[in-house]
Structure 1
Amino acid sequence: MPSAGQASLKIDWGPGRRDTVALQYNPTEIVLEKNVHLAEIAIPGLTAPLQQFVRGEAETLKLELFFDTSDQGMGATAVSVATLTDTIYALSRIVPDQHAPPIVTFGWGEDFPGNELPPALGNQRRTSFKGVVTNIRQTFTLWSSGGVPVRAKISLSLREYTSLKDQLEALNLASPNKTHSYVLARGDTLALVASNFYFDPTNWRPIALANGIDDPRRLKPGTELTIPSLPAS
């Protein structure tokens, strides 16, 4: 178990198989990056296109980790630093019965970045980062007299992993039983709009009827649609 103030990785190998690895040293730097995807809607007569939010992109976390066993001796008593690093380096390997690498959660106390988000964002606060490994690089920098590696650093990159259920609960997205509006972006289809608002692409007909659309294949970018509420089932 990690001690208070000690960074750790929780590894989900599959149902009922979870490990917590306390990092030997806390990282001196963590890098978080988040992008959003916007579509530009060109409307004649305006000096700039409108910006339409399309979706958020997965957040990324980058860590530089350090490991050292040289204090246990540099001769016959040397202990390989791989006893600490192999579990970390294995995070990019496929778990056979899961057909995918494990899900990893990096934590470093309750004051993890993202825990102080504004109240307007609802329950999107977090105290850790959950993701899957996209890149890992291991560098050995010191060896014992017998050729045992005793010092290493690992560069680790994680991409955000969040299930659909968790995202919908965190965002508290607008309910399909309320009326909304939406500005069409280039490439939009009524099925896509229905999927975004109703979570069901087959429910595009109520949108077509509410907006007098006779041919759903001919949609004009920049058109503001009324997204009607759906009757309770």
Structure 2
Amino acid sequence: MSIPVKGQLWIEVGENDFDIVEVQFNPTELSFEKNAQLAEINIPGLDAPIQQFVRGQAERLTLELFCDTTEDGIGANARSVTAETDKFFQLVKIIPTLHAPPVVTFSWHDEFPGNRLGEQWGNQRRTSFTGMAESVRQKFTMFSPEGVPLRATVTLVLREWRPIEQQFNELNLSSPDRTHAHVLAAGETLSALAARYYERPGLWRPIAEANGIDDPRRLTPGAVLLIPAQR
């Protein structure tokens, strides 16, 4: 295990170009929220509907950060705490060259929540959290006699960001060389199933042929579809 250090934010300001911001004080709390979207498939005669996993939802990390510049004095030459808080406020502002706010990675040390997933979860372990700033709330709590803000708390909420290629590599979903059975959820398409099992949405025709589907636009939720192996 690495020695705990101050938490850092790696801010992607350009292609392979990062600004690194070290927090003044390590947060006393980290709050993670991750949900899964489930669909209920109603089958007549059953005591309860069938639950079908649809997809994961974006995880949220909430950071409570404390900023303080009183050690530089609180008189006429006091340093404004906005020199620290603006490092976080800028994360919800658009970078002109990117046309969007930056992607941010929060890291602290190797014992990060999510680093001890079981072997059955493949290579989804993590030692950091990458996302885009969903919100930044600033609360200024102390001022100099001249009104310069000196202390503040910042609540930063990051929403999970992972490109599709990274997700496929991490998930390594059950290999396409095996046959699968899939309970069709409402709104699912054959292209979506091909993307999930073959990683190629265009390969929906073998699924249609294996299940005798003439019109892929007319699918019945709750039907069990055979996903043939790709060899």
Aligned to 2:5: 5
Aligned to 1:121: 121
Matched, 1:185 2:191: no
Matched, 1:165 2:165: yes
| TM-score (norm. length: structure 2) | 0.94
Aligned to 2:94: 94
Structure 1 window deviating more from structure 2 (67-76 vs 194-203): it is 194-203
Q: C-alpha root-mean-square deviation of aligned residues, in Å?
A: 1.5
Structure 1 distance, partners of 2:112, 2:201, is 37
Structure 2 distance, partners of 1:49, 1:89, is 45
Structure 2 distance, partners of 1:94, 1:158, is 15
CA shift for structure 1 position 152: 1.0
AA at the equivalent of 2:95: V
CA shift for structure 1 position 10: 1.0
Q: Equivalent residues in 2 for 1:1-233 (5 A)?
A: 4-231=4-231
Q: Secondary structure at the match of 2:110?
A: coil
Moved over 4 A (4+): none
CA shift for structure 1 position 4: 4.2
Structure 2 distance, partners of 1:180, 1:58, is 26
AA at the equivalent of 2:151: R
CA shift for structure 1 position 215: 2.9
Stretches of structure 2 lacking an aligned partner (at least 5 in a row):
none
AA at the equivalent of 2:140: F
Structure 2 distance, partners of 1:131, 1:215, is 39
Structure 2 distance, partners of 1:29, 1:202, is 45
| TM-score (norm. length: structure 1) | 0.93
AA at the equivalent of 1:171: L
CA shift for structure 1 position 204: 1.7
The alignment of Structure 1 onto Structure 2 pairs a total of residues equal to: 229
Deviations 1:92-151 (A, max 9, x none): 000101011011111111101111111111111101110000010112111112221111
Structure 2 distance, partners of 1:177, 1:119, is 22
Structure 1 window deviating more from structure 2 (197-206 vs 66-75): it is 197-206
Percent identity of equivalent pairs? 53
AA at the equivalent of 2:190: L
